[in-house]
Structure 1
Amino acid sequence: MFERESALDVYRQALPVIGISLLAGLFAGAILGSETMRDGIESVPGILVLLPAFLATRGGVYGSLGARLSSGLHQGVIEPRFTLDQRLSNAVVASFINGMAVSLFIAVVAFLVLWIGAGGGNLLQLVGIMAVAGLLSAVLMLSTLVTVVFVGYRRGINPDNIVGPLVTTLGDVFGVLFLLIAIYLVGVFV
């Protein structure tokens, strides 16, 4: 009987988040399919090369933070409050640094793929776009992830049930949106 109640509890907590993730994923797809995004993609060679890697790494980098937060909350070493806690600060800073480093690495690899395959590409432009998109997505993903996990935990929701869909959705929505913004911001300066 305990296993059935436990499974029902997991579904009760996860299904609303998965439903929201579905709607947000459709929103990200609408942004990606928009004429504005198509124009941005056409204006910057290499965006389609780096887009899948950029979106995938948002989930990997910030999913690790979600797992750390969840473990810390379950073990009682992190309190679900917004205070200057050394463990929380270290985890957030490490995720930020990893997210930015991976973003810049993706730009360099995309440039190399373009250079080897097509003999072209603009390294400065790709690095600029990934720096802006990486920074904007990092700030918003970190603040949203920590807030949702803490508020959910205080309301009795197990973070393990919501971190996966939350990080995947945030990574897709914020990644696509901020990539589009970065294309236009960097296009103004480069």
Structure 2
Amino acid sequence: MNFREGFWSIYREALPVLFVALLGGLFSGLVLEELLASVERFPGLLVMVPVFLATRGNVYGALGGRIASGLHQGLISPAFEWNERLINAVIASFVNGIFISIFIGVISWIALQLLRWPSAALSELVAIMLLAGTITSVVLIFGLLAILFTGYRLGYDPDNLVGPIVTTLGDVFGMLFLLVAVLVVEAVFV
């Protein structure tokens, strides 16, 4: 494959995924509008949003890179079947996603206390992050694997899919489940 063919192949594969990512970003913004109503009830909530979304990309981008490499090397088949490499990567990502979510709640609360800014209770911020992080982790793992496996079977290079998929799924489901977590914690703590 020459340079021009390689360029157009990457462009053809990435453009539809980037378009879906654009729509996902718009949806996430709409969910953020809904989340703004909860800021009065949970001061400090907005401090956690960018960190939460960024860590979804970091943790699950690494998982996507491992899966893409495994697919290229033939170490992972593009199917939901028992594979020790796949299982280990998924479990490690899930555990990282949960622990980093708890850490976000704690470190955000500490930063707000040090700055003497208004803050919700530590238990509320951690509960929101833990619930949103857990649900988002499950959806991101299965969504990422399903899209990568399907794309690979259809002839797409998984390396072209990982970034936009992780970003879109992380933003869309991160914001959606953050809103769900806020509503659940509000119902439990009120």
- Give the TM-score band, short-chain normalised: over 0.9
Tell me which residue corresponds to 1:19.
Answer: 19
Structure 1 residue 189 displacement after superposition: 1.2
Structure 2 residues without counterparts, runs of 5 or longer: none
Alignment partner of 1:31 is 2:34: no
Give how far 1:117 is off: 1.4
- Structure 1 runs of 4+ aligned residues shifted over 4 Å read none
Q: Which residue of 1 aligns with 2:10?
A: 10
User: Do the aligned residues in 2 keep the contact of 1:115 with 1:121 (CA within 8 Å)?
Assistant: no
TM-score (norm 2): 0.96
Matched, 1:159 2:151: no
Q: Distance in 2 between matches of 1:177 and 1:161?
A: 25
CA contact (8 A) 2:41 2:120 kept: no
From 102, 105, 108, the counterpart of 1:107 = 105
* Cα RMSD after superposing both structures: 1.1
Q: Distance in 2 between matches of 1:129 and 1:64?
A: 24
Is it true that 1:180 corresponds to 2:175 in the alignment? Answer: no
Contact 2:60 2:141 in 1 (8 A): yes
Cα offset for 1:163? 0.6
Corresponding position of 1:78 = 76
Per-residue CA shift, 1:45-81, capped at 9, x if unaligned?
Answer: 1111111100100000000000000000001111111
The number of residue pairs the alignment matches comes to: 188
Runs of 5+ unmatched residues, structure 1: none
Query: Take 2:72 and 2:10, find their aligned partners in 1: how far apart are those partners?
Result: 16
Q: Secondary structure at the match of 2:40?
A: helix
Letter in 2 for 1:52: P
- Matches of 1:176 and 1:43, distance apart in 2: 17
Deviates more, 1:37-46 or 1:88-97: 37-46
118-127 vs 16-25, which moves further: 118-127
Contact 2:64 2:162 (8 Å CA) reproduced: yes
How far off its partner does 1:110 sit?
Answer: 0.6
TM-score by length of 1: 0.96
Shift in Å at residue 41 of structure 1?
Answer: 2.0
Q: What residue in structure 1 maps to residue 64 of structure 2?
A: 66
Please give the alpha-carbon distance, in whole angstroms, between the structure 2 residues aligned to 1:91 and 1:160: 17
